[in-house]
Amino acid sequence: MQLNFSGLRALVTGAGKGIGRDTVKALHASGARVVAVSRTNADLVSLSKECPGVETVCVDLADWEATEQALGGVGPVDLLVNNAAVAFLQPFLEVTKEAYDMSFNVNLRAVIQVSQIVARGLIARGAPGVIVNVSSQASQRGLTNHSVYCSTKGALDILTKVMAVELGPHKIRVNAVNPTVVMTPMGQAAWSDPQKAKAMLDRIPLGRFAEVENVVDTILFLLSDRSSMITGSTVPVDGGFLAT
C-alpha cells in the first residue's frame, strides 16, 4: 500500500530514536515535510544527515515553558505523532515522586500540550488533521514494576478517546497505537533479561516481540486517508497479547 504525504507537514516527538526516528524517516520518504522533536541534539544531528530537509527542534517536553517557547510558533502542522515517552521501572512500594512526575509530564502532559498547539492551528486554518498517540499494551494490562508507566498509558488511551470526541467536529482524527514490547533501545533496556522476556513471549500468541516497522506501518496507515473513518480507536500491535 503506497502512501503519499506530499504537501503535508508532520510533527513527530521522541524523534531521536526507535519508533519516532523511523516514523520521521518513513514520512520523509513518503513526501511529507517533517519536524522532528527530541531532547537529544546529537540524535537530531544524525537524523538530519540521514534525512536532509527535516526540520529539527531540540527541547525537553517535560518542561512546559520550554516546550511552549520551542513549538508555540512551529507553524502549520497537518499530522502529529505523539511518540515521546519515558519508562521508570520500579516496584509499586518503591515508586518515587520524581519518577511519577517525569513520567506523567512526558507521557501525558506533553501530549496534551503539543496536541493543543497543533489542533489550535488546524482549527484556525479550517484544515483537517490527524493525531496519532503512541500508547502501549501496558495501558490495558498490569505489568510488574510498571505501575507508573501503565498508569500513564491507561490515561493516554482515554485521553485519545476524549480528544477524538472533541476534535472530530473540526475534522481532526485522533487514534492511538498500542504496541507490545518493541526492540527499541528502551524496549531492550526493559526486557533484556531472558527469563523476563520469556514470560512475556509466552503470553503473545504469535510468539515474538514487535519490530519497529510493525508499529511505524500502523502509524502511517492511521495518518493516511486510508483510515479516514477511524477515530477514537486504540489499535493493538501486539501479536495477540491483548486477546489473551
Of the candidate CATH numbers 3.40.50.720, 3.10.129.10, 2.70.240.10, 3.60.150.10, the domain formed by 9-237 belongs to: 3.40.50.720
**pLDDT the model gives residue 196:** 87
**pLDDT the model gives residue 65:** 98
**pLDDT the model gives residue 17:** 96
Q: What is the pTM of this model?
A: 0.96
Cα-atom radius of gyration of the chain, to the nearest Å?
Answer: 17
Is 18 within 8 Å of 215 (Cβ atoms)?
Answer: no
**pLDDT the model gives residue 184:** 84
**pLDDT the model gives residue 160:** 99
Sign of CA dihedral 113, 133, 146, 197: negative
**pLDDT the model gives residue 236:** 98
CB burial class (10 A; 0-12, 13-18, 19+) of residue 112? middle
What type of residue is 189?
Answer: A
Which are the catalytic amino acids? 149, 153
Please, what is the end-to-end C-alpha distance for the chain in angstroms? 30
**pLDDT the model gives residue 176:** 98
Averages of pLDDT over runs of 10 residues in the chain (244 residues) are 92 98 98 98 98 98 98 98 96 98 98 98 98 98 96 98 98 98 84 88 95 97 98 98 95
